[in-house]
Amino acid sequence: MPVSNSPLRLYVPDDLGVGLTIPLPTDQSRYVVQVMRRTVGDPILLFNGRDGEWQGEVERADKKATTVALSKSLRPQTHEPNLWLLFAPVKRTATDLIVQKATELGVTVLVPVITTHTNKDRVKAERLTSIAVEAAEQSRRLTIPEIRAPIHLTGAFTNWPDSHSLYVLDETGTGAPIAQVLADFKAQQTGSGAFVMGPEGGFTETELDLLRALPFSTFVSLGPRILRAETAALAALTCWQALCGDWCSSIE
Amino acid sequence: MPVSNSPLRLYVPDDLGVGLTIPLPTDQSRYVVQVMRRTVGDPILLFNGRDGEWQGEVERADKKATTVALSKSLRPQTHEPNLWLLFAPVKRTATDLIVQKATELGVTVLVPVITTHTNKDRVKAERLTSIAVEAAEQSRRLTIPEIRAPIHLTGAFTNWPDSHSLYVLDETGTGAPIAQVLADFKAQQTGSGAFVMGPEGGFTETELDLLRALPFSTFVSLGPRILRAETAALAALTCWQALCGDWCSSIE
């Protein structure tokens, strides 16, 4: 099915339910009417991260104030595995790629962490959120990930629950093979996991010591080649979904 | 270790061995001398896909004809798992990303396949090869993947050995979870695998029937979300390396 013929699929913050009419904000109205040329009666799918996925039809096609009348529920909201990614911001293109792909791969929380070798300590949260929303819309995901404000690595694990397993992507090669580590995780059934990855220059020895000392941390290896930051992030999230997450059972 | 301080690492076609002096072609000479500002005596690492990794030093620094004198072998050539990716070419940026990431993830052969919904039936093999070489150089890989000429899907499996397991990335949801399928593969120890993925528009029913009828094919699922073509490719290769490939054991 070519994507162009599929109904548009949009994230909205509003409550969704039978008989409701949802007003779209200006940017979405313009996108629906002017960019995608949808008109009255055309189907639109909506989700809000709480009420599942709904089908509606364009009730009013207006480039500033389009409305969608909901007709039926298509999918109920389902449980999502709790999977976090703490990443040192890299170059803009690579950071964008991490956010887009992590969203497709079902990450629930993204946390930019500032480390000694991080060469970029600012991220535009609004920009990253819009990338995540678009990726969620296109991937048929029912939620959007939460994007936290940047935090220094040294303060990132205050009040961290012991049951939230932390996997350190360790390019110095001291970690155990990721498939083996995640098989152990699955056996424990603690249910939630997080990966932390350093910047291109790697973690410092002090940072590695800090991470090693955490009672909930495990160092993992991603094989004999040196992966770029964005590749490592995607590979780790992929392994988690395939081995412990929502790729384990056939859905739909 | 910041990458900028590391020795340059270059792929060359020449034989490598103790006492040999390797002439670099013009483009590499210019890169080494003018771009990276290396001079006589600076270390350079070389690999050719056959003789492992060698350390050498710049013997003559010339923007058109730099030479490197080899001093010692750093790593022997090692066995690489045989892992192929057959992919329908997508937009240029996404195709470039597939080639770069697949190289980091250790793919051995890349085959562009033309399908009914493929909207781009030409790829610039030279351009893709240079992306693969750069990714191999940066990832400390000891080989570069082979990039084949594009072939129509209908002819892609002529003379395909039965022992070369083919996994079809099936976004229609009929496949089994990838981790389960690859666990079976590992148990069989046939040793070589290939993934085939369709274009953004998916395979046609006729193409799916063709793929289903192949005696060496298995349909796999990558979870409940719809992944972009490049994400699906990287996720599949990641799962293979993590579960059956060279990420299974700690190396180095």
Do A138 and A229 lie in one domain? The reply is yes
Task: Check residue A63 and give its pLDDT.
Answer: 95
pLDDT in tens, chain B (252 residues): 334 468 999 999 999 999 999 999 999 999 999 999 999 999 999 999 999 999 999 999 999 999 999 999 999 999 889 999 999 998 888 899 999 999 999 999 999 999 999 877 678 888 999 999 999 999 999 999 999 999 999 999 999 988 899 999 988 878 999 999 998 877 676 678 999 999 888 999 999 999 999 999 999 999 999 999 999 999 999 999 999 999 987 443
CB contact under 8 A, A231 and B104: yes
Do A94 and A206 lie in one domain? The reply is yes
Residue ranges of B 89-128 with Cβ closer than 8 A to chain A: 97, 101, 104-106, 117
Domain residue limits at B138 = 82-243
Tell me whether residue A58 is in a domain: yes
Do B30 and B110 lie in one domain? The reply is no
Task: Check residue A40 and give its pLDDT.
Answer: 97
* pTM for the model: 0.93
The shortest CB-CB distance from A223 to any of B179, B224, B246 is to B246
Task: Check residue A93 and give its pLDDT.
Answer: 87
| ipTM tops the 0.95 cut | no
Distance between CA atoms of A9 and A54, rounded to whole angstroms? Answer: 9
Task: Check residue A250 and give its pLDDT.
Answer: 45
Count: domains in chain A: 2
Per-residue pLDDT tens over the stretch A181-217: 998 877 676 678 999 999 888 999 999 999 999 999 9
Residues 6+ apart with CB under 8 A from A181: A167, A175, A218, A220
* Residues of chain A with C-beta less than 8 angstroms from the C-beta of B219: none
Task: Check residue A123 and give its pLDDT.
Answer: 81
Segments in chain A below pLDDT 50: 1-4, 250-252
Structure tokens given for B63: 């923007």
Task: Check residue B121 and give its pLDDT.
Answer: 64
Task: Check residue A191 and give its pLDDT.
Answer: 73
Task: Check residue A26 and give its pLDDT.
Answer: 96
Task: Check residue B26 and give its pLDDT.
Answer: 96
CATH code of the domain covering residue B69: 2.40.240.20
Computed over its alpha carbons, how large is the radius of gyration of chain B?
20
Do B219 and B123 lie in one domain? The reply is yes
Segment A26-30 long-range contacts (CB within 8 Å, at least 24 positions apart): A26/A64, A26/A65, A28/A66, A29/A62, A29/A63, A29/A64, A29/A65, A29/A66, A30/A63, A30/A64
Do A51 and A98 lie in one domain? The reply is no
Tell me whether residue A39 is in a domain: yes
Do A92 and A42 lie in one domain? The reply is no
CATH code of the domain covering residue A107: 3.40.1280.10
CB contact under 8 A, B222 and A101: no
Tell me whether residue A249 is in a domain: no
